[in-house]
Amino acid sequence: MNNDQYGAPQHELNVLSSLLRDRSTVNQLVDWNRPDPQYWLTPDHFQTAWLQDAYRALLSGGLDAIQERLRAYPNADPATVTADAVMATMALPYQQRAAAGDPTAQAALNDSGYWAAVHNAVRQMAQPTWPASAQYARHDAYVTVRAAQHPSTAKDVPFSLSRGRANSNDTLVQELAVIGAVLNNPARAQQFRYTPSSPDASPYWLQPQDFADPSTAEIWDALVTGPDPAIALPAATDPTLTPEQRAAAMIQHVTLRLDYSDYHRSTGDEGAKARREANANQVIATYLAKASAPDFSPNPDNAAEYAVSFILEPSIPAAVEDLAGRVRDHGLADTSLGRVALELSTNEYALDQLAERLDAAPRTLAGYSQQQAPTVAPEPSEGQPSYTSRPIERRVLLSLMKYPSQLQSGPSSTLAAQDFTQPEHAYIFKAIQSLPPHAAHDPWLLTNQANQLARYDGAPALDFQELNNISLAASTLDVTPADQGASHLVTMTVRRTARDASSAVEAAAKETLDPRALIDHSRAQFQQATREALRHHEQSVPEPAPYSTQQANVA
């Protein structure tokens, strides 16, 4: 939900408003369970620049400055005094940078219209009539964090934790059993902890995206994995409360979180709007209360084993297919091949994290299956581009035969045999590479070398007619420099490899039984696509047109 008047998401505005109206709100934003308590909502989580600056200012002395000014001017309008204090604190780092000669900070300080607009916005947010409850600021803050970490592509939908996949009533019951076991005893959340290799990764091997149902995914995040989780509430471990009372406190926290998330989605997500109108989250609370009973599953202490068997392992084929789709999208994107390689490498990292989580879980079938994932990509379906051009391959070869020195520099220097899709072309290219320049001009020597290399490799016999046609063309036709054709072949190889890797992984996801074998196979396919893009990282398709003056100013 976006507030067009202030040009910012409503959840970000609500967090600031709650802090401005009630200083004690800041305590909701601290992770008190750490040995060194820290804010779990940081300035970087705000996507609106002026709100990011305002939040940073409040945490670095602004809250104290507000109290001092209110005491100094008891008869003044509190909202105006609050805005004055925030502006003074916000301006301080700009003043320090401007004094050091930063021209950007100097320009910002001189923009009186900007400061007046921010002052007015802060004054409005400090009014007691602002439509947000400071008591529940933690839930607006949660949406702010998740919108920064898991942004949704849908308009007016701040974040998305999970893409739902086909599931049955049994699946939902099994997912609720895992959630209910933790509600019954928050100490069971320790079964899901591990030490990830990345300091930025979650310390829980079971993540929201592993759940088949989007609702249970968000419940798990609100209960365990997300910022400010229900299991960290004081009531969750209060020894003076009964297990039912502790579960009720956590369920209230979870359902309030679901309510706030749906509220901030409601203008862009009809499902969220319908849930709010039907009061569906109260129905969810009833189901969670039932799931928290100790007899909901055969043995709640087996929660981790339930999670592996019914949630994590079944989720991996869908997760791998999603990554395969990203590989295809990035591989076919009209951007530099260096950028393609960077995007493809993020998929490898995602697979590594997935493998690490799976290895940390208590798997009962680890290493049992000997099935091998298929390694060959299916043939492209009819109507799909082949990403091959044999006429261009011939033109490049003819140019290289006449001027082999082109292989020493420029786009032609990154060519490899796999850039030529016809065997005869690939072996002629290998022959050009292996012969001295004066011999590469000679069609007899070149043809003989290509045939010899094919025999050494154990490849099928090369087509005499194709070799003869190329030799004849080389002796009779004028040629152009190879660089433009080489760039095209390079780009086609990257796209073809990305497409084939994606297709092979999607096929394996439908056939491979062992999720660990599927991850390893997918990694090998993605690595091949990444290597191709890195091999040609200096090549690119045409860059987009330069920004116009107006676009540059906006940027």
The total of other beta-carbon atoms located within 10 Å of residue 339's CB is: 14
Contacts of 232 (CB under 8 A, 6+ apart): 31, 32, 33
Q: Residue 343 pLDDT more than 90?
A: no
Residue 376 pLDDT? 58
Mean pLDDT of 134-150: 93
Q: Which amino acid is at 334?
A: D
Terminal-residue alpha carbon distance, the chain: 24
Mean pLDDT of 502-520: 86
Residue 34 pLDDT? 80
Residue 381 pLDDT? 58
Q: SS3 of 31, please?
A: strand
Q: Residue 547 pLDDT more than 80?
A: no
Contact indicator for 224, 157 with CB cutoff of 8 Å? no
Q: How far apart are CA 479 and CA 88, in angstroms?
A: 70
209-218, 282-291, 323-332: the lowest-pLDDT one:
323-332
Could you tell me where the DSSP H helices lie in 230-377? 243-265, 270-277, 280-291, 303-307, 313-331, 337-360
Q: How far apart are CA 12 and CA 18, in angstroms?
A: 10
Element housing 2 (H / E): strand 2-3
Residue ranges with strand state E in 110-187 = none
Q: Secondary structure of the chain: what % helix, strand, coil (to 5)?
A: 65, 5, 30
pLDDT-based confidence at residue 62 (cuts at 50, 70, 90): very high
Q: Phi and psi (nearest 5°) for 41?
A: -105, 115
Q: Residue 542 pLDDT more than 70?
A: no
Structure tokens at 229: 């989780």
What average pLDDT is seen over the chain?
87
Q: What would the DSSP string read from start to end of 341-376?
A: HHHHHHHHHHHHHHHHHHHHS--SSTTT--PPPP-S
Contact indicator for 244, 183 with CB cutoff of 8 Å? no
CA 384 to mean position of chain CA atoms: 27
pLDDT-based confidence at residue 537 (cuts at 50, 70, 90): low
Mean pLDDT of 377-400: 76
200-204, 227-231, 323-327: the lowest-pLDDT one:
323-327
Q: Residue 310 pLDDT more than 80?
A: yes
pLDDT-based confidence at residue 385 (cuts at 50, 70, 90): low
Residue 327 pLDDT? 78
| Helix 483-511 × helix 515-535 angle, to 10° | 180
Q: What is the pLDDT of residues 347-358, one digit of tens each?
A: 888 899 999 999
Q: What is the pLDDT of residues 69-100, one digit of tens each?
A: 999 999 999 999 999 999 999 988 888 888 88
Q: What is the pLDDT of residues 119-131, one digit of tens each?
A: 999 999 999 999 9
Q: SS3 of 538, please?
A: coil
- At residue 335's C-alpha, the angle toward residues 331 and 339, to 5°, is 75
Q: How far apart are CA 173 and CA 297, in angstroms?
A: 9
pLDDT-based confidence at residue 380 (cuts at 50, 70, 90): low
Q: What is the pLDDT of residues 409-428, one digit of tens each?
A: 888 888 889 889 899 999 99
Question: Residue 31 pairs with which residues in a beta bridge?
Answer: 38
Residue ranges with strand state E in 64-151 = none
Nearest 10 degrees: Cα torsion 65, 67, 70, 72: -70
Mean pLDDT of 104-128: 90
